Structure 1
C-alpha cells in the first residue's frame, strides 16, 4: 500500500536508449534475477560467518567474546559505511552501486589468503570488515531496488521472494563450511597444553588454511557477477514527485515515525539472528552433545527451515497483512527462545532450528514496512535501515560476554535473542503504523 501524501510515479530509465516508461512490472525479469543473485551471495557471506566463529575460535585459540569480533567486524562496517553507501547510491545509481559492492566484497574475500598464511586474527577481522563494507553497498542498493522494481502494492512480497534466496544461502553455506572448512578435530585446553610448540603451531596453521579455497572461489564468483552487471542494462529507478526528481534527506527521513521504529526493530532483529546462528554450533555441541560436523549439518537444517520460511512467508503474505504475520512469528520466536534457554538435549537444537523458520520473513518485512509511504526519503530511509544492522555487531558481543561470565553456559546467552523478539513484536503490533498528518 502506498501512503504517500504527494503523487508519485516510478520512472524507469533505459541506460542504452535513455527512454523512460511507467513501471508495469513486466519488463523486470532479468534485472530481478540479477538482484536475486546478490541476495544469495551476501547470504553466503553471513552464513559462512556462523562456521568461521567456532572454526577461528579453535584456529586462533579465542574465548567466546573474542570470537564474536567476527560479527562485530562485519556489522560495524554496515554502520560506518551506511552513509557513504547511501551517497554512492545517490550519486551513481543502483547499477554502479551494486558493481562497486561486488568488487569490494571480492577484495575482502581474497584477503583471507594472507590472513590464513600469517595465522593473523587481526587480518581476518580486517578482511571481514572489508567484506562488510561491500555488503553494505550491495544491501543499500539491492534491497530498495527489489522493493520498487514493480507494483508498489507487491513490494513486501517481492522483497521476501528475493530474500528467499538469502535463505537458500543459509542452507548451502553450512554444508560448504562443513565440507571444506571444518576439520572435525578439536582439542581441550589440557590437550593443547600437552602438545609441543611445533605440534600446536601445526594444528593451528592447518585449521586456518582450510578457509583459503572457499574464499578464493567466492571472490572469483563475485568478480564474474560484477562483470555481468557491467555489461547488462539495468533500469535506473527514480521517484518523481510534484517537485521533480526526488532526492530526499538523510536526517529528514527520520520525521517518519514508523521508519524510526523500523530502524529500532531492524537493529534488534539482526542482533537476534546473528546471536542465534553465531552460537548455534557450540550450542549443539554443548547442549545436545553433537560433534562439530554434525552440529554444522543441523545448522544447515536451520538454513533449510529459514529458506522454506521465506518462500512460505511470500505465499502467506498474499492472504495476511505483513505486520500481522510479523507479530505472529515474533510471538512464536519468543516461545522457542524460552525452550532454547530452559530445555535439555536435542530439543534445544530443534528449537533453534525452528526459530530459523519464524525469523525468515522478519528482515525484508521490517524493511518494506519501514520505507512504506516515505516517497522522496526512500533512499536515505534505506540507509538508516542498513545502519541499524550494527545490531549484529553489538548484541552477539554482549551474548559472548554473558556466556563467558556464566562459565561458558551457552544457553543463558539466548536470553538476548528473546528480548529482541519482544521488541520486534511491538513493532509488528504498533510501531509499523504510519502517522498521517
Structure 2
C-alpha cells in the first residue's frame, strides 16, 4: 500500500509518457507540412490548413471535454483520448493510398480531438497531484517531457517522411501513368508506416491506462487554495482565466507558426539554403531549446515568481524574432531557432496561473484554456497569407505581436499576485 506522496509520484511518472507522446505527434505536423506542400503542390496558405484542421479541434471539443471529465474522471478521459488518437493515425493509411489531401485534413482533426481530450484531462490532473504552490513548477517539469517528444519528432520525420525526394510540378508532368503511380506509392508509404507505428503505441498506452490504478483527486475548493478570488458561478467570471485564455491563444499561435515555417524558412536561399531533410533536423534545435528551458525553468520557478519568468521570456522571444526579421543568413537562422528556449515555460506557466483559484470550476477552466489552443489553427494561416503576399521572412511579424501580449499577461499576473498577497497579509 503506497502513501499519497508515493502514489502521486508514480502517477506523475506515468503521465509523462502522455506529455511526450502528444508533443511528438504535434511536432510531426511540422515535418508533414513541407512534404504535403510539395506532393500536392500547395501554396503556404493551403499547406497551413494542416494546422488549421489540427488546432481547430481544440476549439470545437475542448469545452465539451471539460464537461465529459465530470462524468468519466481524469483516467477515463485519458483512455478515450488515446483510443480516438489511435483511430485517427490509422486514417493516414487510406489518405496516403488515395492521395487525398481532404482525407488527410479530416484525419488531422480527429487526431487532435483525441489529443485535446488528453490535454484537458492531464494538465489539470498534474496541477492537482501535489501542493498548489508548486503547481507551475510541477507542470513545467512534465511539459519538459512534452518538449522531449517535440525534439525527437523532427529527426523521426526527417528520416522517414522527408528523406524521399519530392518532384516539382514540372517534373511530374514528364512522368507517364506507370511512373506517376510508382512515385505516388513511394510518397504514400513514407507517411503510412510512421502513423501505423504511432497507432500501435497509442492503443498500447490506452490498454495500460485501463489497467492502472491512478489516484482519485477531488477538485479543490476555493477555501483551500491560496490567493484565490471569491468563488463565482462560472470559470468565465474570473478575469485572470479569460486573459490567460487569450495568452494561450497567442502562445500556441506563435509557437506553431514558427515551427510550421521552419523547414521552408531554413531552406530559403537567403537564410540557410538547406534541403528539406537537413532543415528538418535543425528543427530539433527549436524544440530542444524548449525542452532544456523547461528543465531549467522548473528549478528557477522554485525560487522566483512564475509570472515574472513568463514576462522575461516573452520579452526575449519578441527580441529574437525581431532580430530574425531584420537579419539574414546564419544570424536569422539561429535567432529564430533560439526562440524555442524562450517558449519553454510559457504554456505550463500560463496554464497554471490561469487555473489558480478556480476551485470547482477547474475542469471548466481547463476546457476553456485548451479551447484557446485554436490559436494554433488561426495564426499559422494568417502568417501563411502574409508569407504568400509579403514573403516568408517578413511574415514573422505575426509571432512578435503574440509575444507582446504574453509579456503583458506576465506583468498583469505579477501585479495581481502582489495585490492578493498584500491583501492576505492584512487579514
Taking structure 1 as the reference length, the TM-score comes to 0.90
CA distance in 2: counterparts of 1:132 and 1:34, whole angstroms: 21
Kept in 2: contact 1:58–1:204 (CA 8 A): no
* 1:125-204 mapped onto 2 (5 Å cutoff): 125-196=105-176, 198-204=178-184
Kept in 2: contact 1:250–1:380 (CA 8 A): no
Match of 1:421 in 2: 403
* 1:73-152 mapped onto 2 (5 Å cutoff): 73-152=53-132
Answering whether residue 258 of structure 2 is matched by residue 276 of structure 1, we say yes
Kept in 1: contact 2:39–2:167 (CA 8 A): no
Deviations 1:307-335 (A, max 9, x none): 11111111111122111011110001011
CA distance in 2: counterparts of 1:268 and 1:114, whole angstroms: 34
Answering whether residue 306 of structure 2 is matched by residue 355 of structure 1, we say no
CA distance in 1: counterparts of 2:389 and 2:252, whole angstroms: 23
Displacement after TM superposition at 1:377 (Å): 1.2
CA distance in 2: counterparts of 1:207 and 1:405, whole angstroms: 29
Give me the CA root mean square deviation: 2.2
Equivalent of residue 396 in structure 1, options 355, 368, 380: 380
Kept in 2: contact 1:159–1:368 (CA 8 A): yes
* Structure 2 unpaired stretches of 5+: 225-230
Kept in 2: contact 1:59–1:205 (CA 8 A): no
Match of 2:227 in 1: none
Answering whether residue 309 of structure 2 is matched by residue 325 of structure 1, we say yes
The number of aligned residues is 412
SS at match of 2:217: strand
**Higher-helix-fraction structure:** 2
Equivalent of residue 298 in structure 2, options 293, 314, 319: 314
Displacement after TM superposition at 1:186 (Å): 3.7
Displacement after TM superposition at 1:116 (Å): 0.7
The 3 A distance-change label for structure 1 pair 340 and 241 is closer
Kept in 1: contact 2:7–2:215 (CA 8 A): no
Kept in 2: contact 1:184–1:291 (CA 8 A): no
Displacement after TM superposition at 1:236 (Å): 1.6
The 3 A distance-change label for structure 1 pair 326 and 122 is same
Deviations 1:196-224 (A, max 9, x none): 45544543442232011111111101111
Deviations 1:248-270 (A, max 9, x none): x9982111111011000000000
Deviations 1:206-247 (A, max 9, x none): 223201111111110111111111111011211254999xxx
Displacement after TM superposition at 1:179 (Å): 0.9
CA distance in 2: counterparts of 1:228 and 1:94, whole angstroms: 15
Match of 2:24 in 1: 44
Deviations 1:25-49 (A, max 9, x none): 4421221111111101100111000
Kept in 1: contact 2:244–2:354 (CA 8 A): yes
Match of 2:368 in 1: 384
The 3 A distance-change label for structure 1 pair 410 and 223 is same
Equivalent of residue 226 in structure 1, options 206, 218, 243: 206
* 1:197-216 mapped onto 2 (5 Å cutoff): 198-216=178-196
Kept in 2: contact 1:341–1:412 (CA 8 A): yes
Taking structure 2 as the reference length, the TM-score comes to 0.92
Kept in 2: contact 1:76–1:129 (CA 8 A): yes
Deviations 1:380-413 (A, max 9, x none): 010100000000010001111111122xx21111
Answering whether residue 12 of structure 2 is matched by residue 32 of structure 1, we say yes
* Structure 1 unpaired stretches of 5+: 1-13, 15-20
Kept in 1: contact 2:81–2:114 (CA 8 A): yes
The 3 A distance-change label for structure 1 pair 349 and 151 is same
Answering whether residue 320 of structure 2 is matched by residue 340 of structure 1, we say no
Displacement after TM superposition at 1:352 (Å): 1.6
CA distance in 2: counterparts of 1:153 and 1:389, whole angstroms: 25
The 3 A distance-change label for structure 1 pair 178 and 250 is farther
